[in-house]
Amino acid sequence: MPLATLEGPAIQAAHAALEEALKRFPKESAGQCAFSAQALEVVIGQEAGWYFARVNRRVDRCPGFGPGVTGLETDWFELYAISPDGDITRYPYQP
C-alpha cells in the first residue's frame, strides 16, 4: 500500500466522505465485508479550499471475492464535495 502525507483537513474530508458513503448501504447488509469500510478506498483532491472525494468500492479486499464476482457492482463509486466550512454534498449522478 502506498504511503502518503495528508494534512489534517484532508483526512477529515476523506473520513466525512467515507462515512457518507457507508450511510448509503442497505442496513440489512451491515456486517458484510463488501458493505464495510474495509471494501472502500477514498481518493481525495483539493481545489480553491474545497476537497473533492471519490469513494471507490474494492470488494477484492474481502475474503472470497475475486474474478467472476456476481451480484455486486465492481465499478461502484460515490463522489462528494466538502466545503471549506466542512459541509459535504454528494454529487448526484446515475451510473
Cell 481518493 found at: 43
How far apart are alpha carbons 65 and 79 in whole angstroms? 24
Which residue type occupies 91?
Answer: Y
The overall average pLDDT reported for the chain is: 85
Contact 83, 50 (CB under 8 A): yes
How far apart are alpha carbons 71 and 50 in whole angstroms? 35
Q: How confident is the model at residue 64 (pLDDT cuts 50, 70, 90)?
A: confident
Q: Among residues of the chain, what percentage have pLDDT more than 70?
A: 83
The confidence score (pLDDT) of residue 20 equals 95
Name the pTM for this structure: 0.81
* Total residue count of the chain as it appears in this document: 95
Query: Which three cell numbers, joined as nine digits, stand for 75?
Result: 465499478
